[in-house]
Amino acid sequence: MQKNTRIINIILCFAVALAVTLVDQVTKLLVVSNMDIGDSIDVIKGVFRITYITNSGSAFGMLSGARWVFMILSTIGILAICVYVAFFSASLNKLTFVSFGMVVGGGVGNMIDRIFNGETLFNGVVVDFIDFCAFPGLWSWIFNAADSFVCIGVALLAISIIKDEIKNIRQKNSNKEESKE
């Protein structure tokens, strides 16, 4: 039963990664097909808008001067997660597999842009369009679905790890109580 559950979880992880990549690429295609760079559409005036920009760096425009370093590190990270999930993930729970899928899918979505969304191969820019403008002094970044999925995936992974650690501590405490009796 353990082996079947693990295989199902691996399939779940890669299905989530595929779904995230598709959502990311479809939303970017919709923006690119219907807007010009710099265009902005108010969705909720003063709070949220769709603003089409491009980004040559990492999430939120950081590291634009080190794009090759970031591309190499992103590729290594994506591959490391895939290898870990495929070969070393026997004791992980479903939430961990889902979070890994979100991170991989988001990474792949942005990597597709970096490889193909430019005048030459591997010289592309990432399409960003999600613009929360309610707090301009606090938050000024424009991002995309892939960035969102990576951040949510990392947060879910942290929750999963904390949840597992609490479970382990409770189990150890329970075993100590049983051994005292």
- Pick the catalytic residue from 24, 113, 131, 147: 147
Contacts of residue 160, defined as CB under 8 A and 6 or more positions apart, other chains included, come to 93, 95, 96, 99
Residue 128 is a catalytic residue: yes
Identify how many contiguous H helices and E strands the chain contains and give both numbers: 4, 4
- Pick the catalytic residue from 24, 113, 128, 131: 128
The token pair that represents 181 in the structure block: 């009796």
Q: How many CB atoms lie within 10 A of CB 164?
A: 15
Cα 82 versus chain centre, distance: 14
Residue 147 is a catalytic residue: yes
For the annotated catalytic residues, the residue numbers are 128, 147
